[in-house]
Structure 1
């Protein structure tokens, strides 16, 4: 039986039935009603897909029907080009999933210029795509990921198609840009498949070690992985979260971070079920290999450390990139089973070490703080990088599961105290399930984006279970992002679409 990470069922798109959310057995059951796993989107670079000088907003709606019959849940991605007045109100480009039940748009990343043509490109995951080219759903769930080349004439036809190697692998659960790891002038990318058994067989034995597949860019990039990373422990769901680690070892090349939130953290290949979680870091360079160079381990059983990872660049202003890791089921001092959540900042160095330098803790029982993490650019305009942490199950203003997101300013004395708090306006919205700082959308300063995939988008503070989803944009300025009032709100176009589950970053 495949095991899914409990928090992820609610941290991103909440695709498990409401009556399952308090049932731990159900949370760990791949076959739970409406079950699906989606991590928060990884942090990445600012992206101007159409090369007009403005960063763009890209929103995933994995339960949208995507041009299929009602209830088909093919998934959709909506691209809103930036402008001097903000993101376009209506999508500038709509991309649909190709198969019923594919959940296209579950993960999204701007991947830089992978083909060397002068425009950023877009990577989208569809982890429940069967990978057989049919529009009907056969339950194979190999998973797929798609690269769409950017440019002024960007369209909805994928330019590179990648398919999971094994049934049930859910390839495309996570995606990320890894810049130019090997120094060939082309940006690279990575795709996670947390339910791959990691044995190289084309059959699904259910061991779920997990894998992550790395692809080099090139003038004609293809869908064949160049390096394959494999989880060392059964059931670890290695590849559930992936991202660049920046140049965390100050070695001159982009490094890679892979989260394994159900890794027991004891170094054994068998699954004892302690689920502390781990993050494996692989140092980049021309000789990139599949042996981890640094291993970070959760400090509490059941914390699911590594459920989210993000390079946050240099938040302590020492000249070396840093890494942010979420552990959304950590009790954080609230007692057994509190699931307040934590996030940890690991400063880079030469060499970096496995000891967290800053610990951030949720304060609300069941809040799942750390479910989503992202760099935020220089949000306050002080010249130092900042970062975001989502807590989508917090209850601000007594609005159950409305969700929160927290902005932390970087600096030499960066600490675990949030500097700005954003809150969901509707009960059950799961605001903070996705957080991003993609760049300057309106040419006024670094902007922030926060997704609320279960927001009904009807303006009511009560939960009417429409679940269209909403995405909120907060503009920066010369003084940074200094208030919590959204400057643009983008509503999901269909009941149940859960737009805002993933945000391009």
Structure 2
């Protein structure tokens, strides 16, 4: 019923009748208390309970501590000082077991067991950490050390920099330094250097470095930065001055127009002229400069609709201005015009061929594929014009002197042959030191193959024109002779007397009365022949006009097959000797006999020439004999024109031109494109123009949709006398000065590099570089590190391929606002142009991979554009045309359409 009288503790009777005894704190030993029981009827009994309180370990008691240190100063606290004041009831020896939970720094124990607290860099204020004490018997107690970290002045940090600039270059920027307390109060001054240039530094860190004239190599300068408390630091700027290393860019856009320094443009005289053909003429007037041939098949001279016209522009020292307008330019001194003779002639194919007739002057050919010689509609014609000292007057009439005095007329063989659709110089293909050339006839039907076309190779000769496609075999009066090199043709069977009015004799038999024979020694395909008359044969051209020619052949079994070819072309070869030329239908024969009849009698013949078809090589299996150039895009139609370019870049190897007039560069439908493929030792393996680089080729793109740039391309010789070969690219669909399809011819001057003045390559290092171009067209090659590309004047190209994750930046110059930058996709490249100028920055391969991106574009006033937002501006501007050169702002309509997009993406 009751408990009490407890010793060494307290006792309590619980409601459920149980008893709770609580020993005194830290007591152990015998304790006791009394308890009383009752029977409910007034009877009680009291007894004593003895409690044995066994001993247990008591946790120690640690003491909170305080300490102090300075900013950025490590504090060491001995273990003994932390244990000082700690107690333990049992008197156990106490030790420091752990430290942790640091605020304002980090805490650890050193090898001696003492505590080391390291404040966070530049931290000042209250810091703390916890420590734990143990008695060695599983008793622990944790307390906190609170510290005052006192503020001290931090020395500023001079970051230094790495600059890369071209020889004779100038670069400006802001020196980098940091200070925790008073960064805004830092001041800068020059400490030392540079050794190879000059530098000026303003107190707020702005600097301008100018490389010493002509110097290329390493340089540096040091600067001092000071804070308001007098603390200083020294920084170094390492400078790399790179020697000018001209590099050809991978593309040239004709849209801005040629300015007279890179080349010039020849514009068609009238709407519809379709100025398209152009070629180097050689030096036709003997003044020491290469001349240029251009042609406009759509021109209407003297109201002769589409008679066409050709123009010769004389070369001169220093070249020309930006434009030659054919409407006013030809006066006999600058050049001359060659008008087509008849409406529909379409005089429009031209080529310079070199010295064809051995008189020491370069000659040229113009052609009219629509001409109708001798009533043969659409047979076509070509005019070989001989160069001469002083050249010609303001105009050359093709109806006068084409009998050998001024030149020579060559006419198409049959109706609709369109001979002269294309003409081309061949150099000296037969090694006689005279220039040869070729004439195409795409409408010809060789061997009955309708529209298969033909090419006629005309061999140069001092005393006349040998007519025919291949080297001739002549069967002459009084015996057989071989003219030219017939190696591989099997030889010629001799032993007959020539054609008589009686049966000829022959070692291999006779074809019958009036026949003459030749044995090739094996089956050969024969494409044509020419029959010469004799000066004393008593016949003239009227006889020839009534003649018929028969070909008799056998395959060795004397199974006769005959092909009768009527007509032919009678040509006066001089001295009253006429000749007749004819083509042959299909056939491959071991023996051939020919007879010529006039009426019912045989005709006395001086000689007969046969022309053999050449052997062929599969173009799909060139192997070591050549290489293939693959078009860049489906529908480009690569190969519409092709030409030698001479040595355009002066590296000692001839270059070549190949074009695709249907290409759509930068979305300009049918603007056309031409590739200048550079020659090199050993040649190239196959080239894919979809991936070609600036080492292999220069891409020249048409200026506007429908220009059909590259319809004709040609070497131009050295027009401006600078020692480099120049090139020609025509755009017959261009509309110069609003003259619809008047066409233009672009003449581009050769050079070791290509650009407005120069192209300089600047390459970065593995450090954080600032890459700055000069006043020319520069190529900035990035490297590792966080690089800054400082865009300068000219058309700069940035190659950041593979470094898209390096946090690089493009920095545009002063006074360029965010609404003065025009964004375009150019194939896989990003082109950012400065409105109203010819300045631009092109980032190579931007659209090919994110790894080629540059993280940020920034204007001088601090606005930034992330690489992820660039596409938004490209898409907004893709359907618009940027303002013309000289207009430095967007149009009102463009502001209305673009301001919102620009503001949303630039920050």
TM-score, normalised via structure 2 length: 0.31
**Equivalent residue, structure 1, for 2:752:** 477
Shifted more, 417-426 versus 252-261: the winner is 417-426
User: Closer, same or farther in 2 for the Cα pair 1:113/1:437, shift >3 Å?
Assistant: closer
Aligned to 1:435, which of 702, 710, 713?
Answer: 713
CA distance in 2 between partners of 1:457 and 1:185 (Å) = 38
**Equivalent residue, structure 2, for 1:417:** 687
User: Closer, same or farther in 2 for the Cα pair 1:234/1:385, shift >3 Å?
Assistant: same
Could you tell me how far 1:96 is from its partner in structure 2? 7.3
**8 Å Cα contact 2:671-2:709 kept in structure 1:** yes
User: Closer, same or farther in 2 for the Cα pair 1:384/1:233, shift >3 Å?
Assistant: farther
CA distance in 2 between partners of 1:125 and 1:433 (Å) = 12
Q: Secondary structure at the match of 1:185?
A: coil
Q: Secondary structure at the match of 1:178?
A: strand
CA distance in 1 between partners of 2:726 and 2:291 (Å) = 20
**Equivalent residue, structure 1, for 2:437:** 256
**Equivalent residue, structure 2, for 1:103:** 273
**Equivalent residue, structure 2, for 1:29:** none
**8 Å Cα contact 1:402-1:428 kept in structure 2:** yes
CA distance in 2 between partners of 1:454 and 1:102 (Å) = 9
Could you tell me how far 1:395 is from its partner in structure 2? 3.6
Could you tell me how far 1:176 is from its partner in structure 2? 1.7
Aligned to 1:401, which of 670, 674, 691?
Answer: 670
Could you tell me how far 1:279 is from its partner in structure 2? 2.6
Could you tell me how far 1:195 is from its partner in structure 2? 0.8
Could you tell me how far 1:126 is from its partner in structure 2? 4.2
Q: Does 1:125 align with 2:295?
A: yes
Which has the bigger relative contact order, CA under 8 A and spacing at least 6? 1
User: Closer, same or farther in 2 for the Cα pair 1:436/1:81, shift >3 Å?
Assistant: farther
User: Closer, same or farther in 2 for the Cα pair 1:473/1:389, shift >3 Å?
Assistant: same
**8 Å Cα contact 1:102-1:129 kept in structure 2:** yes
Could you tell me how far 1:190 is from its partner in structure 2? 0.8
Could you tell me how far 1:446 is from its partner in structure 2? 4.7
CA distance in 1 between partners of 2:382 and 2:420 (Å) = 5
**Equivalent residue, structure 1, for 2:115:** none
Q: Which has the larger radius of gyration?
A: 2
Aligned to 2:308, which of 143, 153, 165?
Answer: 143
**Equivalent residue, structure 2, for 1:175:** 350
5+ residue gaps, structure 2, are 1-256, 321-328, 472-612, 620-624, 689-695, 761-776, 779-793, 796-836, 839-907
**Equivalent residue, structure 2, for 1:156:** 330
Aligned to 1:388, which of 657, 675, 682?
Answer: 657
CA distance in 2 between partners of 1:432 and 1:263 (Å) = 26
**8 Å Cα contact 2:648-2:750 kept in structure 1:** no
**8 Å Cα contact 1:86-1:442 kept in structure 2:** no
Aligned to 2:385, which of 200, 215, 218?
Answer: 215
CA distance in 1 between partners of 2:293 and 2:338 (Å) = 10
Q: Secondary structure at the match of 2:424?
A: strand
User: Closer, same or farther in 2 for the Cα pair 1:290/1:470, shift >3 Å?
Assistant: closer
Could you tell me how far 1:402 is from its partner in structure 2? 4.0
**8 Å Cα contact 2:381-2:410 kept in structure 1:** yes
**8 Å Cα contact 2:275-2:297 kept in structure 1:** no
User: Closer, same or farther in 2 for the Cα pair 1:475/1:130, shift >3 Å?
Assistant: closer
Q: Secondary structure at the match of 2:285?
A: coil
**8 Å Cα contact 2:363-2:385 kept in structure 1:** yes
CA distance in 1 between partners of 2:655 and 2:357 (Å) = 27
TM-score, normalised via structure 1 length: 0.52
Q: Secondary structure at the match of 2:409?
A: strand
CA distance in 1 between partners of 2:357 and 2:745 (Å) = 38
CA distance in 2 between partners of 1:468 and 1:163 (Å) = 17
Correspondences of 1:291-370 after superposition (within 5 Å): 291-294=467-470, 355=617, 358=626, 360-362=629-631, 364-370=633-639
Aligned to 1:195, which of 353, 364, 370?
Answer: 370
CA distance in 2 between partners of 1:397 and 1:101 (Å) = 26
Cα deviation code 1:349-383 (max 9, x no counterpart):
xx996546545453644322111222222245542
5+ residue gaps, structure 1, are 1-78, 296-350, 459-464, 491-505
Cα deviation code 1:377-419 (max 9, x no counterpart):
2245542212010012124566543433233343544554253
CA distance in 2 between partners of 1:280 and 1:117 (Å) = 31
CA distance in 2 between partners of 1:396 and 1:86 (Å) = 21
**8 Å Cα contact 1:245-1:254 kept in structure 2:** yes
Correspondences of 1:259-298 after superposition (within 5 Å): 259-264=440-445, 266-268=446-448, 272=450, 275-289=451-465, 291-294=467-470
CA distance in 2 between partners of 1:467 and 1:197 (Å) = 26
**Equivalent residue, structure 2, for 1:186:** 361
CA distance in 1 between partners of 2:685 and 2:411 (Å) = 34
Shifted more, 220-229 versus 210-219: the winner is 220-229
User: Closer, same or farther in 2 for the Cα pair 1:262/1:417, shift >3 Å?
Assistant: farther
CA distance in 2 between partners of 1:169 and 1:125 (Å) = 12
**Equivalent residue, structure 2, for 1:112:** 282
User: Closer, same or farther in 2 for the Cα pair 1:101/1:416, shift >3 Å?
Assistant: same
Q: Secondary structure at the match of 2:373?
A: coil
CA distance in 2 between partners of 1:248 and 1:283 (Å) = 8
**Equivalent residue, structure 2, for 1:48:** none
**8 Å Cα contact 1:389-1:435 kept in structure 2:** yes
Could you tell me how far 1:111 is from its partner in structure 2? 2.2
**8 Å Cα contact 1:445-1:475 kept in structure 2:** yes
**8 Å Cα contact 1:182-1:286 kept in structure 2:** yes
Q: Secondary structure at the match of 1:292?
A: coil
User: Closer, same or farther in 2 for the Cα pair 1:255/1:138, shift >3 Å?
Assistant: closer
Q: Secondary structure at the match of 2:418?
A: coil
Cα deviation code 1:233-268 (max 9, x no counterpart):
43232111112111123331111121223334x344
CA distance in 2 between partners of 1:237 and 1:447 (Å) = 30
CA distance in 2 between partners of 1:417 and 1:292 (Å) = 35
CA distance in 2 between partners of 1:444 and 1:412 (Å) = 24
**8 Å Cα contact 2:673-2:709 kept in structure 1:** yes
Cα deviation code 1:65-96 (max 9, x no counterpart):
xxxxxxxxxxxxxx9896xx4447xx8xx887
